[in-house]
C-alpha cells in the first residue's frame, strides 16, 4: 500500500523576520545572536486549549510596515479644497489648499491612498492632478487625467491595494491640480497614510529585505 506523500510533509509556519527580533522601538540595535539562533520565530503567549492546556506551535508574523500600520504608527489624513481653479490660477499647477503633509524629521511616511474630486465637471474639461514630494512630481502619478463628462461631482479614488509610496522624513507630500480649458472649477483632494520612527522603518526594512 503506497504512502500518502502529504503524510511526510510538515507545513512550516510563517516566522518573524530575524532582524525584527530584539529591536526595541526607538533603537537601531541589532538583534542578539541568541535570538537569531532561536530560529527567527517569535512565539505567541501560550493559548489555552480544551481543558486549559496550552496549544503549542503558534508563531507570530510581523507584516511589512508599508502594508500594515504598526501599533507605534501615526496616521495622517489631510483634506483640501481649491475654489476658482482655472487655467490662470493653476498654471503652473497649484496645490489643492490643505492637502499637504510634512513628514517629521526622524520619521518615514507611507502614503496608502488618496481621493480626487471636481465639482461641476464638463465634457470639455481638461484637468490633471499630480502627487508631489517637495515640489517634484512622482513618475506615474504626475498626470492623472480627469475624463471629461457632464457630471455634478466627479470623484476618483486610488486605494491601498495600488498605492505604496514611501516618503522620507523632512519631505512634504501634497497634491496639485492643473486646468487647461476655459472652465472654472471647485476641486478637492484628500490622502491617507501613516508615519513611523526611522528606527522602526529600518528594522522592518532589514527584516523584509
Mean pLDDT of 109-123: 98
Give, in order, the Cα–Cα distances in Å from 68 to each of 42, 47, 64, 104, 183: 18, 24, 6, 20, 41
* Choice among 20-24, 57-61, 169-173, 197-201 with the minimum mean pLDDT: 20-24
Which string of DSSP letters, residue by residue, matches 88-103?
TTTSS-EEEEEEEEEP
Question: Are residues 100 and 37 part of one domain?
Answer: no
Whether residue 67 lies inside any domain: the answer is no
Question: Are residues 187 and 151 part of one domain?
Answer: yes
pLDDT value at position 3?
55
Question: Are residues 118 and 138 part of one domain?
Answer: yes
Q: What percent of the chain has pLDDT over 70?
A: 71
Question: Are residues 99 and 20 part of one domain?
Answer: no
Of 62, 92, 108, the residue that ends a domain is 62
Contact 135, 173 (CB under 8 A): no
Confidence of residue 59 (pLDDT cuts 50, 70, 90): low
Question: Are residues 84 and 29 part of one domain?
Answer: no
Question: Are residues 149 and 107 part of one domain?
Answer: yes
Question: Are residues 41 and 94 part of one domain?
Answer: no
pLDDT value at position 208?
84
User: In the chain, how many domains are there?
Assistant: 2
Question: Are residues 179 and 87 part of one domain?
Answer: yes
Closest CA to 19 of 10, 32, 7, 5: 32
Mean pLDDT of 100-125: 98
pLDDT value at position 62?
82
pLDDT value at position 209?
79
Question: Are residues 81 and 170 part of one domain?
Answer: yes
Strands (E), the chain: 42-43, 47-48, 54-55, 59-60, 74-76, 79-85, 94-102, 107-121, 127-133, 136-137, 144-145, 151-158, 165-167, 172-179, 185-197
Whether residue 147 lies inside any domain: the answer is yes
Exposure of 87 in the CB half-sphere (CA atoms within 13 A): 6
141 or 52, which is more confident: 141
Q: Which residues contact 51 (CB under 8 A, 6 or more apart)?
A: none
Question: Are residues 163 and 128 part of one domain?
Answer: yes
Question: Are residues 82 and 20 part of one domain?
Answer: no
Task: State the residue range of the domain holding 55.
Answer: 5-62
Q: Write the CATH number for 146.
A: 2.60.120
Q: Which residues contact 197 (CB under 8 A, 6 or more apart)?
A: 25, 26, 72, 106, 107, 108
Task: Examine the pLDDT at 19 and tell me if it is beyond 80.
Answer: no
Using one digit for the tens of pLDDT, what is the confidence trace for 117-170?
Answer: 999 999 999 999 999 999 999 999 999 999 999 999 999 999 999 999 999 999
Question: Are residues 152 and 105 part of one domain?
Answer: yes
Amino acid at each position: 500500500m503506497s504512502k500518502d506523500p502529504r503524510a511526510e510533509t510538515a507545513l512550516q509556519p510563517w516566522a518573524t523576520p530575524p532582524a525584527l527580533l530584539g529591536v526595541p522601538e526607538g533603537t537601531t540595535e541589532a538583534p542578539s545572536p541568541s535570538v537569531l539562533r532561536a530560529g527567527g520565530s517569535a512565539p505567541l503567549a501560550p493559548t489555552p486549549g480544551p481543558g486549559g492546556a496550552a496549544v503549542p506551535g503558534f508563531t507570530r508574523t510581523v507584516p511589512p510596515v508599508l502594508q500594515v500600520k504598526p501599533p507605534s504608527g501615526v496616521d495622517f489624513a489631510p483634506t483640501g479644497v481649491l475654489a476658482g481653479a482655472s487655467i490662470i490660477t493653476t498654471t503652473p499647477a497649484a496645490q489643492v489648499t490643505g492637502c499637504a503633509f510634512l513628514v517629521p524629521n526622524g520619521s518615514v511616511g507611507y502614503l496608502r491612498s488618496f481621493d480626487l474630486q471636481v465639482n461641476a465637471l464638463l465634457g470639455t474639461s481638461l484637468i490633471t492632478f499630480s502627487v508631489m514630494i517637495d515640489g517634484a512630481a512622482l513618475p506615474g502619478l504626475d498626470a492623472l487625467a480627469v475624463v471629461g463628462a457632464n457630471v455634478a461631482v466627479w470623484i476618483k479614488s486610488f486605494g491601498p491595494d495600488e498605492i505604496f509610496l514611501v516618503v522620507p522624513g523632512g519631505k512634504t507630500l501634497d497634491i496639485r491640480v492643473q486646468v487647461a480649458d476655459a472652465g472654472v472649477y471647485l476641486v478637492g483632494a484628500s490622502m491617507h497614510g501613516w508615519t513611523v520612527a526611522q528606527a522602526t522603518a529600518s528594522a522592518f526594512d532589514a527584516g523584509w529585505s
